[in-house]
Chain A
Amino acid sequence: MKRLFQRLPRTVPVLALLAAFGLARGPIEEGLRARLVAANLLVPPPAQSAFEQMRQSVLMATLGGLRPLAATYLSLEAFDHFSTKSWDDLRRSYEIVTSLEPRDETHWVAVVWHLGINATANMEIDGRLPAFERERRFKEYAFQAIDFAERGIAQLPESAAIRLQLVEVYREKLKDDCAASRVYGDTIGLPGAPGFVRRFHGYYMARCPGREKEAYAYLTALYREGKSQRKPTLIKEIQDLEKKLGIPVPQRIPEADPDRPRPNQAPRRSSNVLPGGIVVP
């Protein structure tokens, strides 16, 4: 108090300078913020709804500039929910995580994998629930996974990884070959997209009712690209289509060996094995 009194006259210039600086930097900072957000370097504050769901500690950390730590903490917690099979808690955790760090691809991939693959698999075997309920929840989780994937793709339009995770839900869980083909098609050409997506786009198109002709044209075009595309599966798929569509023999591809044992379907892992051979409990 004593100190304050002595310096009372000083507070006027100090406040004036502080205010002048505040007013001057306001527009500059707004401009910088807009450009940083446009460059994806800065994440705009999460929606109010995300805040409302946060617990106090997470909220504090988030406000204190510790957003990445808060997000990591919540995603660790989500792994915990995963191990106890609390799928709804897991979804809620990821709602916050993805709104804290919408541009982190790994969160979107993880939540699509958890809900679309793990939760649905759990519904297929969970003996505690009646069959009807299991089936209903199976669909619910699959659709929640698709919803997350679509939101993730909206945030990261270039992401191959989210699409590859999404495609597994369509392919393995919903058996929707048309959707699988569409998502593979969307993935073609994205940075980091593996080479097989072009072939898989065709394979699943071939299984999509009504698109066989289109698939035949697409796959033969790939075949003509050269040796690198002529995988056993490609040949097998073309041959199946040739038969189905009744293509005249002279126009068929030369590798005619219908009794050739059907090879594994290229890079495809069972759903509880991750790249790197990590097996999920």
Chain B
Amino acid sequence: MKERMSTPAVEVSNLTKVFSLGLRKEYVVAVDNLSFRVEAGEVYGLIGPNGSGKSTTMKVVLGLMAASKGSAKVFGLDSGDIRARNEIGFLPENPYFYKHLTGAETLRFYGKLCGMRGAALAKRTAELLKLVDLEGAANRRLGGYSKGMLQRIGLAQALVQHPRLVILDEPTAGVDPIGSRQIRDLILRLRDEGYTVFLCSHLLEQVQEVCDRVGILFRGRMRREGTLDELIAIEGQTTLTLEGASPALLERLRATVAEEGAEVLAEGHPRTSLEQLFIQIAERGGEENQPS
């Protein structure tokens, strides 16, 4: 387990966000009394189906939206605080930057917004272009970038001012398997370099591969939260992983299990997948959460 620092990178407490629709009294509760923490240095993944409130939560954390109730803090600062934003790099879902700027110009633009200048900025720009493997396209306008390239320049843009926290909204949406693998490797690299990463996704395998901890959001509420191991472990079930077991040994074990009244459920891959868990929760949530 990672060492827990005193101030969490993100601390969301009792966050509720209500959107009113029109003048008639119609509301959408996008986020409902949500609380969670992202510790400094970890990779935290928020997962949930479409419309479950992931992007809304991130926008509140970024100060792009005000909470209807509750609060969101970044490194102990209110999310609206400009100093907090200096510590955050954000990649929105389906990012879209100024089409008329080239990749390098885009990075310089965002760098300048963070108060960077001159040689330091030039160095950082080159560094990031290399990191996201866009050196070849540095002087091409974004109008001609593919979706994957946009996503990568977006990631570079998020990192420009050396933020301590990186917030990624669906970082691999619309990116092909190889591209999303690159992005996943990048995220892991960021974690190794000490960044805190807070991402959300509905692509579970990826969350599974990179996240230290995961929160499952459904209809604005946190359904399950914990380390991957905790979440995926199935209570009342135990896995034995044997090495070099002979077929005879396995046969004896099966017999013993049967004697004890237990049952061998599966052999081979012993774990459930995050995906199954996810679907389970969605199904259960769907039953109890019929719109009133």
Contact = CB atoms under 8 A, between A and B. Distances in A.
Interface in B1-43: 20-23
Which secondary structure dominates where chain A touches chain B?
helix
A21 interface: no
A272 to B, nearest CB: 58
Interface in A124-168: none
A270 interface: no
Nearest to B23: A5
A1 interface: yes
Contacts of A244: none
Contacts of A5: 20, 22-23
Contacts of B23: 1, 5
A2 B20 CA distance: 7
Nearest to A8: B23
Contacts of A1: 22-23
B240 to A, nearest CB: 57
Nearest to A1: B22
Interface string A1-16: 1100110000000000
Contacts of A6: 20
Contacts of B20: 2, 5-6
Interface in B95-149: none
A154 to B, nearest CB: 57
A255 to B, nearest CB: 81
Interface in A1-50: 1-2, 5-6
Contacts of B21: 2
A60 B262 CA distance: 91
A1 B22 CA distance: 6
A210 B181 CA distance: 112
A2 B18 CA distance: 13
B67 to A, nearest CB: 14
A6 B21 CA distance: 9
Contacts of A2: 20-22
A25 to B, nearest CB: 33
A6 B20 CA distance: 7
B17 to A, nearest CB: 12
Interface in A36-76: none
Nearest to B21: A2
A186 to B, nearest CB: 64
B145 to A, nearest CB: 31
A6 B65 CA distance: 12
A2 B22 CA distance: 4
A5 B25 CA distance: 11
A64 to B, nearest CB: 32
A251 to B, nearest CB: 89
A3 to B, nearest CB: 10
A5 B23 CA distance: 6
Contacts of B22: 1-2, 5
B162 to A, nearest CB: 36
Interface in A75-125: none
A198 B130 CA distance: 86
Nearest to A6: B20
A2 B23 CA distance: 7
A5 B20 CA distance: 8
A5 B21 CA distance: 8
Nearest to B20: A5
A148 to B, nearest CB: 55
A5 B22 CA distance: 7
B26 to A, nearest CB: 10
A170 B258 CA distance: 133
Interface of B: 20-23
9 contacts: A1-B22, A1-B23, A2-B20, A2-B21, A2-B22, A5-B20, A5-B22, A5-B23, A6-B20
Q: Which 5 residue pairs spanning A and B have beta carbons closest together?
A: A1-B22, A2-B22, A5-B23, A2-B21, A5-B20
Given A1-B23, A5-B20, 7 more contacts: A1-B22, A2-B20, A2-B21, A2-B22, A5-B22, A5-B23, A6-B20
